[in-house]
Amino acid sequence: MPLRDLISALADDLDIGVVLTDGQLAPPGPHILYVNTTFERMTGFDRAEILGKNPRIFQGAGTSLAARKRLARALRNGERHTTTLVNYRKTGEAYLCAIDVFPIVAPDGALISAVALEREVERKPGRRPTARTGKSG
């Protein structure tokens, strides 16, 4: 069963946002291969608008460069990574997004794909919406 079909079977009805990409880390990758309905609702994008694009389209002026770099490094190393980033909906509205990214790595170490679980989190009053980040596990 292709990975996308497997993820779709698992994730279509989940109430957490799910996004699957290919393993091409350098722009214009990673390409979005699948998103679930919860992800569409959170971002305001229909899947037809974002399939084939890369998840940087959710970033903007408020997205921490340092957090992005840590995420990029984890993906290069094939490591699971959790972070909280400022992302932007289709409307341009910023929201705080907790992301848990799982790389899918071939036996030779090559990155095949990545799956992220994404959830909007509330901003704590008085706290700046900057990134919190760290390794899981």
Ligand X SMILES: Cc1cc2nc3c(=O)[nH]c(=O)nc-3n(C[C@H](O)[C@H](O)[C@H](O)COP(=O)(O)O)c2cc1C
74 near ligand X (CB under 6 A):
no
131 near ligand X (CB under 6 A):
no
Measure the CA–CA gap between 74 and 103, rounded to whole angstroms: 9
Residue 80 per-residue DSSP state: -
Q: Are 115 and 20 in contact (CB under 8 A)?
A: yes
Q: Residue 119 is inside which H or E element, if any?
A: strand 111-121
Q: In the window 98-127, what residues touch ligand X (CB under 6 A)?
A: 99, 101, 114-116, 118
64 near ligand X (CB under 6 A):
no
88 near ligand X (CB under 6 A):
no
85 near ligand X (CB under 6 A):
yes
Question: Residue from 36, 38, 54, 133 that binds ligand X (CB under 6 A)?
Answer: 54
Question: Residue from 71, 96, 117, 131 that binds ligand X (CB under 6 A)?
Answer: 71
Measure the CA–CA gap between 119 and 100, rounded to whole angstroms: 9
